[in-house]
């Protein structure tokens, strides 16, 4: 049984179509991240799951129940918001117990659940404070606690870490992951931060324009992006793209006077195509001194950017700007003529017209 099942979901705001025939199945205990640029519909989809937006067409099932038209509180979900959304006039304890009181739960049970949530999230000493007297990280813990006390199977996170500074963000990221492994419930997590997506997710759904572009494990999304959009969106620094053509019956790639053998490309025989895009991640290129027939691209160093653990070298190659990740000790002189060796087994090839992976 799927924990969440979205069937043919469509949502229109007036004439604007925000989500189009969207299908998504989430397994029990799975951590799904909805990832995409702003305006891609990821938060909207989450609001539809929570029942905060009425959908135009389709069905939403949670835990084997059709909840398409159920009230948010009847769906068995807990939700954590970007702005924390704590009730300012209530204490932390009041915030945690508000939903339980609405459900007319006995006080003893409320106390028990609040105590458990406080223990898990280590917010026990804060229970009698007002949200205004808490730091950002503490507020977000309380917000997570509010979902926790509901004792539900599905957690929905709407960019929960976006309002925190970088250090707190990585701390809470680990904490959310720990929480997931402890509770083992289903989580749907919306973010525009690919690091969060890659570190947290069992599967990532990359969205654009209300459509899921690719839904797969983080490693697959990273190494085998399904289309040009996903390839360009995931990865920092971004993937290098070379526009060219496949010739020789698909055995060679040619662009701007450079030729590369496609031997070893995992897509197999690609056939001759007039317009393709070759995608190469910066860490799958290597700077070598001499040319090797069919395996290297001549390049000129423009700039190097030391980034601490490693260094990023920007070069001009094949008429395009490319970046290569190298060990930080390796300093490159500006204007130096070098060669880039391509690891074709890790490359991605896209059709320029359809933007789909070949």
Decide: is 23 part of the binding site for other proteins (CB under 8 A): no
Cα–Cα distance for residue pair 45/53, rounded to 1 Å: 9
Decide: is 99 part of the binding site for other proteins (CB under 8 A): yes
Selected from 15, 64, 102, 290, the binder of other proteins by CB under 8 A is 102
Q: How far is the CB of 13 from other proteins (least distance, A)?
A: 11
Decide: is 73 part of the binding site for other proteins (CB under 8 A): yes
Whether the bond into 237 is cis, omega within 30 of 0: yes
Selected from 29, 58, 72, 294, the binder of other proteins by CB under 8 A is 72
Decide: is 133 part of the binding site for other proteins (CB under 8 A): no
Q: How far is the CB of 143 from other proteins (least distance, A)?
A: 8
Q: Which is nearer to other proteins, 160 or 282 (CB)?
A: 160
Q: Which is nearer to other proteins, 104 or 182 (CB)?
A: 104
Q: Which is nearer to other proteins, 14 or 289 (CB)?
A: 14
Decide: is 77 part of the binding site for other proteins (CB under 8 A): yes
Selected from 26, 34, 81, 240, the binder of other proteins by CB under 8 A is 81
Q: How far is the CB of 174 from other proteins (least distance, A)?
A: 24
Selected from 8, 27, 69, 83, the binder of other proteins by CB under 8 A is 83
Q: Which is nearer to other proteins, 81 or 233 (CB)?
A: 81
Q: Which is nearer to other proteins, 68 or 82 (CB)?
A: 82
Selected from 14, 88, 132, 271, the binder of other proteins by CB under 8 A is 88
Burial 176-212 (b: 16+ CB within 10 A, else e): bbebbeeeebbbbbbbbbbebbbebbbbbbbbbebeb
3-state SS, the chain, equals CEEEEEEEEEEEECCEEEEEEEEEEEECCCEEEEECCCCCCHHHHHHHHHCCCCCCEEEEEECCEECCCCCHHHCCEEEECCCCCCCCCCCHHHHHHHHHHHCCCCHHHHHHHHHHHHHHHCCHHHCCCCHHHCCHHHHHHHHHHHHHCCCCCEEEEECCCCCCCHHHHHHHHHHHHHHHHHHCCEEEEEECCHHHHHHHCCEEEEEECCEEEEEECHHHHHHCCCEHHHHHHCCCCCCEEEEEEEEHHHCEEEECCEEEECCCCCCCCCCCEEEEEEEECHHHEEEECCCCCCCEEEEEEEEEEECCCEEEEEEEECCEEEEEEEECCCCCCCCCEEEEEECHHHCEEEECCCCEEC
Q: How many residues bind other proteins (CB under 8 A)?
A: 23
Decide: is 155 part of the binding site for other proteins (CB under 8 A): no
Q: Which is nearer to other proteins, 83 or 107 (CB)?
A: 83
46-65 binders of other proteins (CB under 8 A): 47, 50-52
Q: Which is nearer to other proteins, 101 or 334 (CB)?
A: 101
Q: Which is nearer to other proteins, 23 or 73 (CB)?
A: 73
Among 94-102, 181-189, 214-222, 339-347, which window interacts with other proteins (CB under 8 A)?
94-102
Residues that bind other proteins (CB under 8 A): 47, 50-52, 71-73, 77-79, 81-83, 85-89, 98-99, 102-103, 146
């Amino acid at each position: 049984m799927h924990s969440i099942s979205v069937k043919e979901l469509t949502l229109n705001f007036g004439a604007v179509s925000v989500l189009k025939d969207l299908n998504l199945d989430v397994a029990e205990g799975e951590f799904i991240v909805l990832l995409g640029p702003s305006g891609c519909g990821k938060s909207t989809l989450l609001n539809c799951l929570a029942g905060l937006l009425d959908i135009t067409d389709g069905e939403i099932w949670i835990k084997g129940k059709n909840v398409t038209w159920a009230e948010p509180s009847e769906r068995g979900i807990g939700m954590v918001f970007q702005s924390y959304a704590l009730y300012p006039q209530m204490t932390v304890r009041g915030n945690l117990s508000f939903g339980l009181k609405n459900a007319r739960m006995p006080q003893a049970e409320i106390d028990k659940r609040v105590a458990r949530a406080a223990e898990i999230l280590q917010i026990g000493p804060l229970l009698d404070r007002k949200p205004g007297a808490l730091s950002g990280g503490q507020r977000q813990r309380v917000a997570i606690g509010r979902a926790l006390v509901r004792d539900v199977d599905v957690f929905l996170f709407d960019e929960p870490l976006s309002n925190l500074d970088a250090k707190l963000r990585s701390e809470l990221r680990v904490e959310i992951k720990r929480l997931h492994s402890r509770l083992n419930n289903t989580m749907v997590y919306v973010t525009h931060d690919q690091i969060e997506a890659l570190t947290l997710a069992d599967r990532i759904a990359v969205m654009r324009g209300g459509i899921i572009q690719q839904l797969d494990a983080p490693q697959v999304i990273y190494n085998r992006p399904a289309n040009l959009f996903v390839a360009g969106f995931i990865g920092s620094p971004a993937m290098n793209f070379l526009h060219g053509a496949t010739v020789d019956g698909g055995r060679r790639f040619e662009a701007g006077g450079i030729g590369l053998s496609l031997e070893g490309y995992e897509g197999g025989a690609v056939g001759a195509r007039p317009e393709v895009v070759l995608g190469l991640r910066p860490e799958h290129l290597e700077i070598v001194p001499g040319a090797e027939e069919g395996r290297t691209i001549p390049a000129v160093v423009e700039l190097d950017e030391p980034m601490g653990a490693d260094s990023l070298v920007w070069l001009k190659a094949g008429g395009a700007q490319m970046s290569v990740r190298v060990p930080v000790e390796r300093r490159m002189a500006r204007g130096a003529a070098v060669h880039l060796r391509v690891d074709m087994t890790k490359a991605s090839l896209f059709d320029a017209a359809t933007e789909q992976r070949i």
